[in-house]
Amino acid sequence: MTVSDPVVETVVATLSRSATEIRQGLVGRRGAVDEENPSGETQVEADIWADELLAERLSAIDGISQYASEEREAIIDCGGDAASTDGYTVAVDPLDGSSNLTSNNAMGTIVGVYDAPLPARGEDLVAAAYVLYGPITTMLLATEDTVSEYELTGGERRRIREDVTLPDDPVVYGFGGRVPDWTDTFTEYAREIETELKLRYGGAMIGDVNQVVTYGGIFGYPGLESRPEGKLRLQFEGSPIGYIIERAGGRSSNGEQSLLTVEPSEGIHERTPVFVGNEPLIDRLETQLS
Ligand code: FBP
């Protein structure tokens, strides 16, 4: 099944095709390079390679006017007009959780398609997708119409679930950051959740969020004592994942409000606390943190 908007469909088809190649290309690209990304994190060879591959392909699509990525400082201007209705922009995390490449654990790719110049609000998203490189390669795609899950093989995508929603009875939780670095109020919340749900944390947001989509629950990377803004990036991670989870019937939050309503104020690499999951769990979190 194709997406009704032709530009979004081309982005999704390009991502589906590229994901198979990215997965195959991880072999031999596990080593760290002597560089850091704009957020000051060590890059592996695969981060840079996947970014270059996606930048070349996504920025060449007619109707895409800007490409931004977690792995590069500046936005690529691809021509077109972001203010016009057919001028979409894309924000990409080419390899989310790439430190998991060393230990050969799950990783992902995230793409947000915005109908606004970057940096943009999550409310300007018209579609978002993540690819999960697990035992099999899957993609969860949220559009204005629905959320669907696909299996990706040989460049093809095959829909395996439609109208995906979070299960009503939550089962799992995963919270990032070192526990001694958590704030007292977040620690109190986490202590309650630990008595109710099962821990599932793998160090790659896409793997952990997909557990929440599959079983219900909550994923969070909170603001830390040493870093109140948290670790994850609003444009590349927080907003696209927030969009997917909200389209699937859940809620997203930065601890105070939906991630989709956050006005970016610090440029393309702005960080934010991220919480996504079943609505009652996010409601309780906001009450606890307020
Ligand atoms: P990268 O995209 O730079 O790898 O960072 C994002 C991330 O790996 C998330 O996928 C994950 O949730 C988080 O960092 C893990 O951080 P920590 O190791 O502090 O738990």
Domains of the chain: total: 2
Distance 167 CA to ligand 1 centre (A): 25
Work out which ligand 1 atom sits closest to the CA atom of 96. Answer: 2
Task: Determine the structural domain holding residue 92 and report its residue range.
Answer: 6-161
Q: What is the pLDDT of residue 82?
A: 52
Domain boundary among 108, 140, 161: 161
DSSP 182: B
Q: Which residue has the tokens 């997708």?
A: 129
Same domain, 60 and 186: no
Mean pLDDT of 212-237: 98
Q: What is the pLDDT of residue 164?
A: 98
Residue 128: name the closest of 257, 239, 213 by CA.
239
Mean pLDDT of 89-111: 96
Look up the pTM and report it: 0.95
Same domain, 181 and 147: no
Same domain, 46 and 134: yes
203 in helix, strand or coil? coil
- pLDDT level of residue 48 (50, 70, 90 thresholds): very high
Work out which ligand 1 atom sits closest to the CA atom of 176. Answer: 20
Look at residue 191 and tell me if it is in a domain: yes
Give yes or no for residue 84 having a pLDDT over 60.
no
Distance 116 CA to ligand 1 centre (A): 27
Decide which of 181 and 42 is more confident: 181
| Least confident residue range of 50-54, 73-77, 83-87, 227-231 | 83-87
Q: What is the pLDDT of residue 240?
A: 98
Q: What is the pLDDT of residue 85?
A: 45
Same domain, 60 and 153: yes
Look at residue 220 and tell me if it is in a domain: yes
CATH code (residue 246): 3.40.190.80
Q: What is the pLDDT of residue 95?
A: 96
The ligand 1 site (C-beta within 6 Å) comprises 41, 93, 96-99, 176-177, 203-205, 221, 231
Q: What is the pLDDT of residues 184-197, one digit of tens each?
A: 999 999 999 999 99
CA-nearest residue, atom 15 of ligand 1: 203
Mutate to test the pocket of ligand 1, among 96, 201, 229 (most ligand atoms within 8 A of CB): 96
Half-sphere exposure in the Cβ direction for 197 (13 Å, CA): 25
Look at residue 167 and tell me if it is in a domain: no
Look at residue 23 and tell me if it is in a domain: yes
Same domain, 278 and 254: yes
Whole-angstrom Cα distance, residue 17 to residue 89?
19
Count CB neighbours of 34 within 10 A: 6
* Joined tokens for residue 219: 């994923």
* Joined tokens for residue 232: 């994850």
